[in-house]
């Protein structure tokens, strides 16, 4: 089955570069900075990566796709694309009962099956990299992993994702408020005790809200509300005392 854009994406002027083996679809997309609305997909990646330079297992059978956008909004708003992309993937995998772990990991029964990496390049280019475990997943990861158990072929999922992204990007162009509301309705761990792993420490509290900039609002045990702009979220170890 050939990889192809969904009909909505094709009509909206998005383009597709479908490759066999690449180091990373994000790297391929960033090399084409200056182009716009270009999807890059690959059957496999030899140097796939996630946030903070982590490797991303990338054997055939899963979806590896990156979307190159040219100046999609003011630079300050580009982090919001994490939430836009997470919602687009959530739309594409329906009716799978997925939840979104802040900011953009998708979970099935508490296990991660999607990772999203936003990167910027020259000439105000932004790339949204998306990896979805369609048929298999790695073992021994920091956060438990899962996959879609073959319910979607990568080509089928990509067509649905490319169409969903058109709608979510259009929604985002009208502002972040409705994206934030839709994300909160699908959030994992909202109102629950969590650990947030930062580069040099881990803090614990209650996941209370998402602010207007997309920061996680963490209620600390002493009652203070701490905004978190970046970090890795994990369920709180139950023996700990929560707020």
Structure tokens at 107: 């979970």
Q: In a 10 Å sphere around its CB, with 0-12 CB exposed, 13-18 middle and 19+ buried, how is residue 157 labelled? A: buried
Mean pLDDT of the chain: 91
pLDDT band with cut points at 50, 70 and 90 for residue 239: very low
Q: Where do the CATH 3.30.930.10 domains begin and end in the chain? A: 7-185
One-character DSSP codes across 208-229: EEE-TTS-EEEE-TTS-EEEES
pLDDT band with cut points at 50, 70 and 90 for residue 51: low
Rounded CA-CA distance 38/230 in Å is: 27
Q: Is 183 left (phi over 0), alpha (psi -120 to 50) or beta?
A: alpha
pLDDT band with cut points at 50, 70 and 90 for residue 55: low
Going 152 to 158 to 163 to 164, the CA torsion angle's sign is: positive
Rounded CA-CA distance 93/101 in Å is: 16
10 Å Cβ neighbour count for 166?
21
CATH H-level superfamily of 7-185: Bira Bifunctional Protein; Domain 2 (3.30.930.10)
Taking only the tens place, the pLDDT of each residue in 152-202 is 999 999 999 999 999 999 999 999 999 999 999 999 999 999 999 998 999
Q: What is the CA radius of gyration of the chain?
A: 17
Per-residue pLDDT at 242? 44
- Please name which of 193, 210, 226, 219 lies closest in space to residue 87, comparing C-alpha atoms: 210
* Res 135 pLDDT > 60: yes
Spatial neighbors of 18 by CB under 8 A, at least 6 apart, are: 2, 3, 41, 42
Rounded CA-CA distance 168/15 in Å is: 17
Q: Domain 193-235: which CATH class?
A: mainly beta
Strand ranges for 121-167 from DSSP E:
125-132
pLDDT band with cut points at 50, 70 and 90 for residue 142: confident
Q: Where do the CATH 2.30.30.100 domains begin and end in the chain? A: 193-235
10 Å Cβ neighbour count for 167?
15
């Amino acid at each position: 089955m050939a990889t192809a854009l969904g009909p909505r994406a094709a009509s909206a002027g998005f383009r597709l570069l479908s490759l066999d083996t690449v180091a990373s679809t994000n790297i391929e997309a960033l090399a084409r900075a200056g182009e716009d609305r270009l999807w890059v997909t690959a059957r496999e990646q030899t140097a796939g990566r996630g946030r903070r330079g982590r490797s991303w297992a990338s054997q055939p059978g899963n979806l590896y796709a990156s979307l190159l956008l040219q100046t999609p909004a003011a630079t300050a708003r580009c982090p919001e694309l994490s939430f836009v992309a997470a919602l687009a993937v959530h739309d594409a995998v329906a009716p799978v009962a997925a939840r979104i772990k802040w900011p953009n990991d998708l979970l099935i029964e508490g296990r991660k099956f999607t990772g999203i990496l936003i990167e910027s390049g020259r000439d105000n280019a932004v790339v949204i990299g998306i990896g979805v475990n369609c048929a298999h997943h790695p073992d021994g990861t920091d956060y438990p992993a899962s996959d879609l158990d073959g319910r979607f072929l990568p080509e089928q999922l990509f067509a649905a994702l490319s169409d969903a992204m058109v709608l979510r990007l259009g929604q985002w162009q009208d502002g972040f408020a409705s994206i934030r509301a839709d994300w909160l309705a699908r959030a994992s761990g909202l109102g629950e005790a969590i650990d947030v792993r930062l580069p040099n420490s881990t803090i614990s509290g209650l996941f209370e809200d998402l602010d207007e900039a997309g920061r996680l609002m963490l209620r600390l045990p002493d009652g203070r509300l701490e905004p978190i702009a970046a970090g890795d979220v994990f369920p709180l170890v139950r023996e700990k005392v929560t707020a």
